[in-house]
Structure 1
Amino acid sequence: MALRPHLFVPTTDETTRFTSPSTGPRERFNVPARDRAAHAQTLVEQLEAVAPQAIARAKEQRALGLDAGLGIYLRFDSEPNFPLKFESLDVTRSGIQLCNVRTLPDNTMQATVFVPENKLELFLRKIEAYRDENTTPRAEGGIARPKNQDLVESISHIQLAALEALWTEETLPFPDQEAPVTWEVWLRREPRVDHLARLRGYAEHFNLAVGDQVLTFVDRIVVLVRGTAHDLARSVDILGMIAEIRLPKVTAEFFTAMTSIDQQAWIDDLSARLVPPGANTSYVCLLDTGVNRGHPLLTPLVAQTDLHTYKPAWNVDDRYGHGTEMAGLASFGDLTDVLAAQGQVNCTHRIESVKLINPDDPHDSTLYGAVTAESISRVEVTAARNRVFCMSITSTDGRDRGRPSAWSARVDELAAGLDGGPKRLFVISAGNTVADQRRHYPASNFTDSIHDPAQSWNALTIGGYTDKVAIDGTKWPQWQPLAPRGDLAASSCTSATWSRWPFKPDIVMEAGNLASNPTIVDPADLDDLQLLTTAHNFATRLGLITFGDTSAAAALASRYAAMLWSKYPSMRPETVRALMVHFAEWTPAMRARFVNDDGRPDYKTLLRCCGYGVPNLPRLLSSVDNRLTLIAESELEPFFKDGSDIKTREMRPHALPWPIDVLSDLGNTEVVMRVTLSYFIEPSPGGRGWTPRYGYQSHGLRFAVRNPLESTADFERRINKFARDDEYKAPGLSDPGWRFGRLSGLTSVGSLHSDVWHGTAAALAARRHLAVYPTMGWWNKRPHLEAWDRTAHYSLVVTIETPGIETDIYTPVATQIGVPVEIEI
Structure 2
Amino acid sequence: MATYKHFFFNSIANSEKFKAPPMMGAKPQIPKRNRITHSEKHLQQFNIIWETKKQLEIQREAEQIPTKEGTYLSFTSSVDHDLITKSLEDLRKGIRLLNIKEIVGENDHTSVRATVYIPKGKEGAFMGKIKAYRDNNNTSVVFQDQQDHNLITEEINKLGNNIHLKTIKDVNKKGIVQTKATISLPVGQEDYFIAETQRLFPEGKVIISPHNADLVNSIEDVGQALLESFWMDNIELIPDGYSKWCEVWLNINTKQNIERQQIEQFLTLIGNIDIEAKYHANGLEVIIFPERAVLLIKANRDQLIELILQSDLLAEFRACQEPAGFWVNESAVEQQGWVEDVLRRVEIIDTSVKICLLDSGVNNGHQLLKPLIDDHNTLTVTAAWGTDDHYRERGGHGTLMAGIAGYGHLEQLLTSSGNIILTHKICSVKILPRPGQEETPTELWGNVTAQAIARSEIQNPNIFLIYCLSITAKEGINMGRPSSWSGAIDNLAFGEGQNQRLIIISGGNIKDEELWQNYPESNYVTSIQNPAQSWNALIIGAYTEKTIVQNRDFREHLPIANQGELSPYSSTSIMWEKKWPSRPDVVFEGGNLLKAPDGSIFSHEDLELLSTSKTFGIKPFDTINATSAAVAQAAWFTAKIAFQYPNAWPETVRGLVIHSADWNPMMLNQIQAQQGNRKSFRNLLRTFGYGIPNLERALYSQESAFTFISQEHIQPFNFKKDSRTDTETNEIHFFNLPWPSELLLEMGETPVTFKVTLSYFIEPGAGEMGWKDKYRYGSHGLRFDVNNVGEKEDDFRKRVNKAAREEDEEIYTNAGASRWVVGKDNRSNGSVHSDYWKGTAADLSTCHYIAVYPIVGWWRERKHLGKVETSTRYSLIISLETPNQEIELYTTVKNMVEIPIEINNTLREP
Query: What range is the shorter-chain TM-score in?
Result: 0.7 to 0.9
User: Closer, same or farther in 2 for the Cα pair 1:171/1:738, shift >3 Å?
Assistant: farther
In the TM superposition, residue 789 of structure 1 has moved relative to its aligned partner by 0.8
The answer to whether 1:407 aligns with 2:506 is no
Contact kept? 2:13, 2:737, Cα under 8 Å: no
Give the partner amino acid of 1:6: H
Give the partner amino acid of 2:444: L
Contact kept? 1:9, 1:656, Cα under 8 Å: no
Higher mean Cα deviation, 636-645 or 712-721? Answer: 636-645
The answer to whether 1:252 aligns with 2:324 is yes
Deviations 1:79-101 (A, max 9, x none): xxxxxxxxxxxxxxxxxxxxxxx
Residue number in structure 2 paired with 1:344: 419
Deviations 1:147-178 (A, max 9, x none): xxxxxxxxxxxxxxxxxxxxxxx996999xx9
In the TM superposition, residue 210 of structure 1 has moved relative to its aligned partner by 3.9
Deviations 1:424-461 (A, max 9, x none): 00000000014232222111211211111111000000
Identity of aligned residues (%): 37
Report matched runs for 1:616-627 at 5 Å: 616-627=694-705
Residue number in structure 2 paired with 1:554: 631
User: Closer, same or farther in 2 for the Cα pair 1:582/1:432, shift >3 Å?
Assistant: same
User: Closer, same or farther in 2 for the Cα pair 1:282/1:210, shift >3 Å?
Assistant: same
Report matched runs for 1:549-628 at 5 Å: 549-595=626-672, 602-628=680-706
In the TM superposition, residue 228 of structure 1 has moved relative to its aligned partner by 6.1
Report matched runs for 1:336-735 at 5 Å: 336-360=411-435, 361=437, 362-382=439-459, 383-397=461-475, 399-418=477-496, 422-436=499-513, 437-472=515-550, 474-499=552-577, 500-521=579-600, 523-539=601-617, 541-595=618-672, 602-642=680-720, 643=723, 644-684=725-765, 686-688=767-769, 695-726=776-807, 728-731=809-812, 734-735=815-816
In the TM superposition, residue 690 of structure 1 has moved relative to its aligned partner by 7.2
User: Closer, same or farther in 2 for the Cα pair 1:784/1:480, shift >3 Å?
Assistant: same
The answer to whether 1:800 aligns with 2:800 is no
Report matched runs for 1:221-260 at 5 Å: 224-226=298-300, 227=302, 231-232=306-307, 247-260=319-332
In the TM superposition, residue 492 of structure 1 has moved relative to its aligned partner by 0.6
The answer to whether 1:268 aligns with 2:347 is no
1:813 pairs with one of 882, 893, 905? 893
Q: How far apart are the structure 2 equivalents of 1:687 and 1:694?
A: 13
Give the partner amino acid of 1:530: E
- Secondary structure of 1:607's match? helix
In the TM superposition, residue 695 of structure 1 has moved relative to its aligned partner by 2.5
- Secondary structure of 1:558's match? helix
Residue number in structure 1 paired with 2:168: none
Give the partner amino acid of 1:375: A
Give the partner amino acid of 1:718: R
In the TM superposition, residue 633 of structure 1 has moved relative to its aligned partner by 0.3
Give the partner amino acid of 2:387: V
- Secondary structure of 2:550's match? coil
Contact kept? 1:214, 1:472, Cα under 8 Å: no
Q: How far apart are the structure 2 equivalents of 1:174 and 1:546?
A: 23
- Secondary structure of 1:286's match? strand
The answer to whether 1:767 aligns with 2:847 is yes
Q: How far apart are the structure 2 equivalents of 1:493 and 1:269?
A: 37
Give the partner amino acid of 2:493: A
Contact kept? 2:660, 2:697, Cα under 8 Å: yes
Q: How far apart are the structure 2 equivalents of 1:810 and 1:202?
A: 44
- Secondary structure of 1:726's match? coil
Report matched runs for 1:309-348 at 5 Å: 309-320=380-391, 321-348=396-423
User: Closer, same or farther in 2 for the Cα pair 1:359/1:609, shift >3 Å?
Assistant: farther
Deviations 1:157-203 (A, max 9, x none): xxxxxxxxxxxxx996999xx9999664899xxxxxxxxxx999997
Higher mean Cα deviation, 633-642 or 506-515? Answer: 633-642
Contact kept? 1:287, 1:355, Cα under 8 Å: yes
In the TM superposition, residue 363 of structure 1 has moved relative to its aligned partner by 1.3
Q: How far apart are the structure 1 equivalents of 2:375 and 2:856?
A: 47
Larger Rg: 2
Q: Which runs of 5+ in 1 are unaligned?
A: 15-63, 65-103, 106-169, 188-197, 821-825
User: Closer, same or farther in 2 for the Cα pair 1:353/1:230, shift >3 Å?
Assistant: closer
Q: How far apart are the structure 2 equivalents of 1:303 and 1:173?
A: 34
Q: How far apart are the structure 1 equivalents of 2:245 and 2:629?
A: 29
Bigger RCO of structures 1 and 2 (CA < 8 A, at least 6 apart): 1
Q: How far apart are the structure 2 equivalents of 1:576 and 1:715?
A: 30
Q: How far apart are the structure 1 equivalents of 2:897 and 2:266?
A: 60
User: Closer, same or farther in 2 for the Cα pair 1:669/1:171, shift >3 Å?
Assistant: farther
Q: How far apart are the structure 1 equivalents of 2:267 and 2:860?
A: 73
Q: How far apart are the structure 1 equivalents of 2:267 and 2:11?
A: 65
- Secondary structure of 1:560's match? helix
Deviations 1:496-533 (A, max 9, x none): 11022100000000001111123033x11101100000
TM-score of the pair, normalised by structure 2: 0.66
The answer to whether 1:6 aligns with 2:78 is no
User: Closer, same or farther in 2 for the Cα pair 1:653/1:505, shift >3 Å?
Assistant: same
Deviations 1:653-698 (A, max 9, x none): 1122222332232222211110000000111164448776972111
Q: How far apart are the structure 1 equivalents of 2:5 and 2:425?
A: 22
Q: How far apart are the structure 2 equivalents of 1:817 and 1:214?
A: 49
1:789 pairs with one of 866, 869, 877? 869
Q: How far apart are the structure 1 equivalents of 2:766 and 2:582?
A: 18
- Secondary structure of 1:488's match? coil
Deviations 1:255-311 (A, max 9, x none): 011011110001111111111121x33111101111111111110111221221111
Higher mean Cα deviation, 754-763 or 565-574? Answer: 754-763
- Secondary structure of 2:826's match? coil
User: Closer, same or farther in 2 for the Cα pair 1:214/1:705, shift >3 Å?
Assistant: closer
Residue number in structure 1 paired with 2:254: none
Q: How far apart are the structure 1 equivalents of 2:675 and 2:742?
A: 40
Q: How far apart are the structure 2 equivalents of 1:618 and 1:542?
A: 33
Report matched runs for 1:286-297 at 5 Å: 286-297=357-368
In the TM superposition, residue 485 of structure 1 has moved relative to its aligned partner by 0.5
Contact kept? 1:575, 1:633, Cα under 8 Å: yes
TM-score of the pair, normalised by structure 1: 0.73
User: Closer, same or farther in 2 for the Cα pair 1:210/1:664, shift >3 Å?
Assistant: closer
- Secondary structure of 2:782's match? strand
Q: How far apart are the structure 2 equivalents of 1:429 and 1:598?
A: 28
User: Closer, same or farther in 2 for the Cα pair 1:783/1:613, shift >3 Å?
Assistant: same
User: Closer, same or farther in 2 for the Cα pair 1:573/1:446, shift >3 Å?
Assistant: same
In the TM superposition, residue 218 of structure 1 has moved relative to its aligned partner by 4.5
Deviations 1:74-128 (A, max 9, x none): xxxxxxxxxxxxxxxxxxxxxxxxxxxxxx99xxxxxxxxxxxxxxxxxxxxxxx
Q: How far apart are the structure 2 equivalents of 1:604 and 1:547?
A: 30
- Secondary structure of 2:776's match? coil
Contact kept? 1:13, 1:652, Cα under 8 Å: no
In the TM superposition, residue 312 of structure 1 has moved relative to its aligned partner by 1.7
Residue number in structure 1 paired with 2:35: none
